[in-house]
Amino acid sequence: MKAFILHGTTSLMQNAHPLKLVDMPIPVPQPHEILVRIEACGVCHTELDEIEGRAVPAFFPIVVGHQGVGRVVERGEHVQSFAIGDRVGIAWIYRTCGSCEYCTTGRENLCSQFQATGRDVHGGYAEYLVVPEQYAYKIPEAIDSAHAAPLLCAGAIGYRSLSLTNIRDGQCLGFSGFGASAHLVLQMVKALYPNTRIYVFARSTTERQFAYQLGAHWAGDFHEEPPEKLHAIIDTTPVWKPIVSTLRTLLPGGRMVINAIRKENDDINSLLELKYERDLWMEKEIITVANVTRMDVQTILQLAGQIPLLPTIEQYPFLEANRALLELKRGSVRGAKVLVME
């Protein structure tokens, strides 16, 4: 099979082709595993973190990618959940221990043995992928594979982030950054909390215009003041400065949810320029998101069929994976990027 592998960490700005196309053996499903022929795989900022060493994979060389959608083509022994030909999705959560205090209380995302697709095992930038059947998800027939792919991470982690805000209908919710995840969460909020006012902070004029098109009440740059203070903010930016600069917009007792595995350090020295001391007060909370649970993925797929929830995507041929990653690094984003098998 054809697959893109990462041999080691590198700088994308110095190495525009960090992934190498190779031939690999088609994996063989073990008991309770299924073999999936990939049709589409989402491109996520986490791949940038893996490539550039902020979230180093468990081994090299490795196939990255954790938003894969495809058809079941082979079943290991004892598989009961899926039939040949079923269309399934594979998300970031690949396997957990299933028996620790976190796994047994619905918090498997915190399991110390959490394995991530494309970081701890080979991922979806390939023609085939094996996955334990209990960590695969049926894709609603109404959603094509390319549009389903971003739901598996950008959508699922977005749903988890929204849940952690504790937002109530009629309150004010902010988005710091407006990429693949935020544009899906905004649609969720419009459907689930119709009286909630949405405020978007984004550096790019294109992203701010996109936010307005999806129903944001206000969109501005990070230094601008929204018309009112916010009950919660979801931060999806890759850097530190937006966190500090938007704290000022939170109401007393407000909550900021940081949706990122790692932050880049390019702007960390500039934090000294911000007079943020007065904002670190009034019982404002900062909470981080860690991975996703299977329930998060199942819920977002159900919501996608009900709302309906449809990602805005930019499609790339599978062979142009490096170009998609480089454009993501450079900040060229409107919705989500997806690799499509030819």
% of the chain with per-residue pLDDT over 90: 87
User: What average pLDDT is seen over the chain?
Assistant: 94
Report, as an integer, the average pLDDT of 202-210: 94
Distance CA 88, CA 218 (A): 37
pLDDT digits (tens, 9 = 90+) for 140-171: 999 999 999 999 999 999 999 999 999 999 99
Which residues on adjacent β-strands are paired with residue 62? 6
Domains of the chain in sequence order:
2-153+292-340 (3.90.180.10), 156-288 (3.40.50.720)
Which helix (H) or strand (E) segment holds residue 326: the answer is helix 321-329
Return the pLDDT at 239.
Answer: 84
Distance CA 102, CA 93 (A): 14
Work out the pLDDT band at 244, boundaries 50, 70, 90: confident
Distance CA 226, CA 234 (A): 15
Return the pLDDT at 272.
Answer: 56
Return the pLDDT at 275.
Answer: 59
Could you please report the per-residue DSSP string of 5-49?
A: EE-S---TTT-S--EEEEE-PPP---TTEEEEEEEEEEE-HHHHH
pLDDT digits (tens, 9 = 90+) for 27-50: 999 999 999 999 999 999 999 999
pLDDT digits (tens, 9 = 90+) for 48-94: 999 999 999 999 999 999 999 999 999 999 999 999 999 999 999 99
